[in-house]
Structure 1
């Protein structure tokens, strides 16, 4: 008996990363993030459980996480990626939690860190997207934001993911004897 899997991902994760731009980046596409004290941009991504990119959006750093998560999840739903569950961090709490099941037919689960944790700790379920950010940082062009336009920055992320997926496909498989 074979187990049938759905063609699309059933669980995904949404996360945000701040990036420091180079001097060539215009000030109109930058913003100041008071939480991390960074003047730059944010990369917002949605990934599946394998760490494959489902959606990306680059905005000024002062853009709210809830607003961009809502736009990304709507784009993902329009592209026919309909996961049943989406994991998100504490920045996506509030009305977005009620909006997702009512409008997008998906459950938004908030993965929070406990109060007794100190320092940088990767939480369960969110390590998937942290691994994606680590892969993106291996692409030298994405270690710092050099792109003048946010659409070019998004294209560079897609380019880096294409390289990663190509490497995974070209990896030699162990032979079956």
Structure 2
């Protein structure tokens, strides 16, 4: 039971695309679908930033096949105080915005495509607030 949301966001934290996977899928496998979806929709993107959970043997071929480079951003977990890390705060802020929607707080959907549609609708709602 459960799902994982893998969002790709721009430098302002606004979502470009979201890939939904089951909770038992490792992050490195979710990164492949996310990179393919992001590069197909936005072909000018050449660098993607991700945390260390997306590191793995599956994403090593991204540069050769999709011509996109994956940079890993370390977290500051365990340090005192808040220090925003470039390339990481946008995704964390987007995920916290998504958690503010009651429908996304728990997984009510039976199908992955329904969960993606609900997440995209929530993204559209919070993006309209900033216009």
TM over 0.5: yes
Select 1:70's aligned residue among 28, 32, 41: 32
Mapped to 2, the partners of 1:95 and 1:110 lie a distance apart of 14
- Uncovered stretches (5+) of structure 2, i.e. residues with no partner: none
Q: Which has the higher helix share?
A: 2
Deviations 1:106-163 (A, max 9, x none): 110011236xx42797761211101001111121211111112111111111101111
Is structure 2 residue 63 aligned with structure 1 residue 101?
Answer: yes
Select 2:4's aligned residue among 42, 46, 66: 42
Mapped to 1, the partners of 2:84 and 2:127 lie a distance apart of 25
Is structure 2 residue 117 aligned with structure 1 residue 144?
Answer: no
Please say which of residues 91-100 and 130-139 is displaced more in the overlay: 91-100
Question: CA 1:167–1:61 in 2, change beyond 3 Å: closer, same or farther?
Answer: same
Larger Rg: 1
Matches within 5 A, 1:156-171: 156-169=118-131
Q: 2:117 matched to which residue of 1? A: 155
TM-score when normalising by structure 1: 0.65
Q: Which runs of 4+ in 1 moved over 2 A?
A: 94-98, 119-123
Report how many residues are paired.
129
The root-mean-square deviation of aligned C-alpha atoms, in Å, is: 2.2
Alpha-carbon deviation of 1:94?
3.0
Mapped to 2, the partners of 1:63 and 1:122 lie a distance apart of 30
8 Å CA contact 1:45–1:56 kept in 2: the answer is yes
TM-score when normalising by structure 2: 0.85
